[in-house]
Amino acid sequence: MLLLPGTASDEVFVRSVFTDPLSQVGAIVDAPRVRTLGERLAALDSAWTGHPIVVGGVSLGAHVAARWAVRNPGRCAGLVLALPAWTGAPDDAPAALAAKASAEIVADQGIDAAIAGTTGWLHDELKRAWHGYGDLLAPHLEEASESAAPTLDELETLDVPTGIVGCTDDPVHPIEIARQWADAMPRAVLETITLDAYPHALGRAVQAWQRAR
């Protein structure tokens, strides 16, 4: 199962979240090292070897995986999606605004200034992952903030087993978006969590996908 990281996140985070839940259903996580939108799409194209595959990701990774599935309906066997952040154009979505603001701070003041207000596991994850992007970080944050997610009409075409995790108290990834996606997709199951269960509860998207099957 190929799973993609969110904006400025990395393969280390994806593996930490999804390895155990996938092992419980006899699957293995394939989390490629990707640093741009183009690399995320290329990883999906490369993963297809003639047989439909299950794909997904977190936040931006969920967007990219779902967009790929819309464009390649015969190649996708299922979707595991955590924290979709917007539908269609980003407009004023909180996650898009946060990425754009972070890009400006990184470009002007550096990574440490951009993550100064974070604490705990989130601070540790951002410090590791963001430094791993190097000079690509600010441009990637900018491109992510302007990238389109699937529209509701496009999501309605994805007739494959789909597990979605949404968070009821995450202001950056509104639960309303996860519910929109789940309502639009013909075979989707939505699992809800709360912020105090982050980050490993994101792996519950795997259980939701199993129920959707």
Residue 170: Cβ within 10 Å count: 18
Peptide bond into 199 cis (omega under 30): yes
Tokens 């600010």 map to which residue? 138
Distance CA 163, CA 3 (A): 13
Tell me the H-state helices in 24-164.
37-47, 60-71, 94-109, 111-114, 120-133, 137-145, 152-155
Cα gap 158→66, rounded to integer Å: 8
**pLDDT by 10s per residue, the chain, length 213:** 999 999 999 999 999 999 999 999 999 999 999 999 999 999 999 999 999 999 999 999 999 999 999 999 899 999 999 999 999 999 999 999 999 999 999 999 999 999 998 999 999 999 999 999 999 999 999 999 999 999 999 999 999 999 999 999 999 999 999 999 999 999 999 999 999 999 999 999 999 999 999
Q: What superfamily does domain 2-88+149-212 belong to in CATH?
A: Alpha/Beta hydrolase fold, catalytic domain (3.40.50.1820)
CA angle, 196 as apex, 173 and 87 as ends, to 5°?
A: 10
pTM, 2 dp: 0.96
